[in-house]
Amino acid sequence: MSEVTTHVDHAHADAHAGHHGFAHPMPVWQLLATFFALVFLTWVTVLQSTFDTGSMEVWLSLFIATVKAALVILFFMHMIHEKPFNAIIFISSFIFVALFLGLTLMDAHNYKDQVELQPPPPTMAPTK
């Protein structure tokens, strides 16, 4: 891991050999726009909960939450200026979360609250 780190850091340092500073301050308008978009989407998610959308409801709120999460990651967390290596590391965590949740939920309904004792099958293998 440390080898990879050093390699990436050097590669990046070389790319900036001229060096005009590595800080990329976010413009204020981008920060404010992100904030107001997030507040608007919060309002949308509260509003959609007042309508009866049935089983779609949880997916709708998850979709809005994911759009908000993307805004936070891209702008507040500066992912748009982030090195691809760091981005891959962070995004990969969501792939593992998806695997974790997906595989767990796949057979969630195959378990029962109580164990049901079944009568022995009527046709037994013939005894010798």
- Cβ-based neighbour number of residue 75 at 10 Å: 19
Q: Which of 7, 56, 81, 90 binds other proteins (CB under 8 A)?
A: 90
Rounded to whole angstroms, the Cα distance separating 92 from 98 reads: 10
Assess contact for 74 and 82: CB atoms under 8 A: no
Kindly identify the residues of this chain, within the stretch 93-122, that bind other proteins according to CB under 8 A.
93-94, 96-97, 100-101, 104-105, 108-109, 112-113
| Cα separations in angstroms, 51 against 9, 32, 46 | 51, 29, 10
**Contacts to other proteins by CB under 8 A:** 5, 8-10, 12-13, 16, 19, 21-26, 28, 31-32, 34-35, 38-39, 42, 45-46, 49-50, 52, 57-58, 61-62, 64-65, 68-69, 72-73, 75-78, 83, 85-86, 89-90, 92-94, 96-97, 100-101, 104-105, 108-109, 112-113
